[in-house]
Amino acid sequence: MPNFSDLLASKVRANPAFVQAYDRLQVASLAGLVGKPGAIGEEEARKLAQSAVIFAQGSGSAMQGLAQDIAYALAQTSEDGLVRAACTQVLNSIGNFPAGNFLAKRSNAMQDVLPWTMQLDALGREHRNTFEVHDKPVVFTDFQVDVWKQLRSNHQAVAIRAPTSAGKSFVLQSYLLDRFAKAASPLSVAYVIPSRALLHEVQGKLTKQLAGLERKVRVTSVPQAGESAEELQIFVLTQERLQTLFDNSEIRIEELIVDEAQQIADDARGILLQHCLEEALARSPSTKLVLLTPGRQDAAAVARQVGFDDVGVVQSSLRPVRQNLIYCDFNPRSPTDIILSLHQESGPALALGTLKTDWGFERKESRLVGAAIELGREGQSLVYAPSKSPAESIATSIAGYLEPPKDKNGQLKELAEFIKKHIHPKYALAECVVSGVAFHYGSMPTALTKALEEYFDDGLLKYLVCTSTLLHGVNLPARNIFLYRPTRGVDTPLDADGFWNLAGRGGRMSKDVQGNVFLVD
């Protein structure tokens, strides 16, 4: 039977006055995309903030997601100190403390203007979401708390299903730090990732995370013949490398973590992954399995399929940042215009307005590049390309229209010289990076992809054109994602899960309040 909070939230959600006000808020929060100021009236902003507080008390991710979206949008449009304080409180009340703290610092929201009961509730919830990780307090979101508890439970397998941006990697790395810090005996962990493109990133993050421990933890992505379980070690491997490890040693893995575990359904590589999981269990019946999946995939079914019957499950559909799906359409009678509208889960798209440009969009080939340049002025942007050749041509085109950024320390020039010297003197990437643009695909040398990822993460590259390396886990979230009729390879359309895996790169938790996913043409 629905409780009072759910009934009240449902009643407010169905109120036509709220629906109209919420639409106006969304349009105002994105008005900057079409070159207009975005603001709503003070009275309407306060009513929307009150609505968000009500939604935050409702159960279920739909209502809490709506509360979160209102809070983020109001933070973009309202200068009212009370409204901003309420937005921070809403995020805290749904357990999204990283976003609440970020918003409070960014907007100088004065929490003391709120009723003391609301302040007390937020403090109590933050206390419940704070855990000691290697003797340091860490505040998790509600979802991360559930993951943390399941990882530390007695379940032999844990299946974690949540959107790309939900913070799975952060809580998992915190768990590994705590696990190795408390290990009283040798411990061997295998972290299986879906592609070679991820090896450097995951190995680097784990090495940094574990560096402060008193006992050294060996972090490697290259299995050696005759590996033994005589030390603290973590193997970061693809399923092919994990098979090599098993073929050339008698090692037993105490904990096995599989990122993007839905790949077990993918042809030959999926069969190999399943074989590796079965081999790990055969060698050590007490092996603990952790499966991570995005979207709709049921990781628990994967665990049971390979023989793990005791499975703890954590699921969430709530994205911790606001992700706007924005359609970019073109009118042949006004070839310089980009017509923008916001996707809504129910009902037609919401018109945001028309962006006037100096481009000519009669040719479809110019639409992705033009949209990326015009709509990617704020923040960093990822542009998806189906394969290697389009990635290079798109990046070269974007670079050709941009003024080279200020390169005070000469880092972009240094990267360009590195490319010319160590890759090829006429490699197109060298000219692109000088303009703050790069392309990225799986067959590049590891040293080069490492440099590109670091430059983008540091904000030195404004645009990065990626292939499916972005689809399967390269963790490079940005303010904007640009997609043009996305396919995997030449002509295989992305399925829903693949699309949302890409879209999940839009927005950085604790670094931004929203991400924009532009669907071009």
Integer Cα distance of 192 and 32 in angstroms: 42
- Predicted local confidence at residue 472, as pLDDT: 61
- Predicted local confidence at residue 353, as pLDDT: 93
- Predicted local confidence at residue 107, as pLDDT: 56
- Predicted local confidence at residue 341, as pLDDT: 96
Q: What confidence tens digit (pLDDT) does each residue in 234-283 have?
A: 999 999 999 999 999 999 999 999 988 888 877 788 889 999 999 999 99
Q: What confidence tens digit (pLDDT) does each residue in 8-36 have?
A: 999 999 999 999 999 999 999 999 998 88
Judge residue 66's burial from the number of C-beta atoms within 10 Å of its C-beta, 0-12 exposed, 13-18 middle, 19 or more buried: buried
DSSP letters spanning 57-85? HSSSHHHHHHHHHHHHHHHHH---HHHHH
Q: What confidence tens digit (pLDDT) does each residue in 401-419 have?
A: 988 888 878 899 999 999 9
Q: Of residues 219 and 119, which shows the higher confidence score?
A: 219
CA atoms within 13 A on the CB side of 465: 28
Q: What confidence tens digit (pLDDT) does each residue in 86-121 have?
A: 888 888 888 888 878 777 766 555 555 566 566 666
122 pLDDT higher than 70: no
Residue 515, strand partner residues: 323
Structure tokens at 409: 């320390």
Average pLDDT, the chain: 86
- Predicted local confidence at residue 247, as pLDDT: 93
